[in-house]
Amino acid sequence: MTRGRFITLEGGEGVGKSTQLRALTAALEARGVEVVATREPGGSAGAEAIRTLLMEGSDDRWDARSEALLFAAARADHVARTIRPALKRGAWVLCDRFVDSSRAYQGGGGGITDADLLTLHGFGSQGLLPDRTFLLTLHEGEAARRLAVRDAAGADRMGSKPADYQARLAARFAEMAAAEPDRWRVVDAGRPADAVTAAIMDELAPWL
């Protein structure tokens, strides 16, 4: 049986990853592809339990090192129980965030070295990387507007990080995409949602 494809969506807060995850799942299923749509932190029973610890409470509940360890533990369970079994049976896995978010948030935002984060990932998840990562980007003003709307509805810990932290995130994501062009594709998420979906599907077309 042919191994499935592992696709991740990355980017800062409010760029529309959840919207695109739903749209891409529908588009791929319409083409007869088995899709496992998942998220991080979460995606398995153990990882969802850790998600509660990570996403609730005050901004300073955990420092960057504690966050990195918790994310790595959640990801290890997610990979072992959800992602690898799905890929093995030939399904496509679409994931809202993966290890690159740790590299951006706890790395670019929190100051943990990329080497340390990848060492954790190598141990916990045996170094699994996506086949393709889409970085959804927004102009700073639009990102701030979307975050303000979401804050009014009650943001989680990661979404309530201050503006300078959000700027470091964006810079780190851009660095990773530029350094690994074979895996990453940068997509302008400021366009209408259906246009963003179409752009991503165009990139995936050679695998369909």
CATH of domain 6-207: 3.40.50.300
Where are the chain's structural domains? 6-207
The mean per-residue pLDDT over the stretch 79-90 comes to 98
pLDDT one-digit tens code per residue, 109-118: 889 999 999 9
Whether the per-residue pLDDT at 148 is higher than 70: the answer is: no
For position 33, what pLDDT does the model report?
A: 97
State yes or no: cis peptide before 41, omega within 30 of 0.
Answer: yes
Starting at the edge strand that comes first in sequence, how are the strands of the sheet with 6-10 ordered? 35-39, 92-96, 6-10, 132-137, 184-188
Distance of CA 191 to the CA centre of its chain: 20
For the packed helices 64-78 and 114-125, what is the interaxial angle rounded to 10 degrees? 30
- How would residue 161 be classed by pLDDT, with cut points 50, 70 and 90? low
The answer to whether the predicted template modeling score (pTM) of the entire model surpasses 0.85 is yes
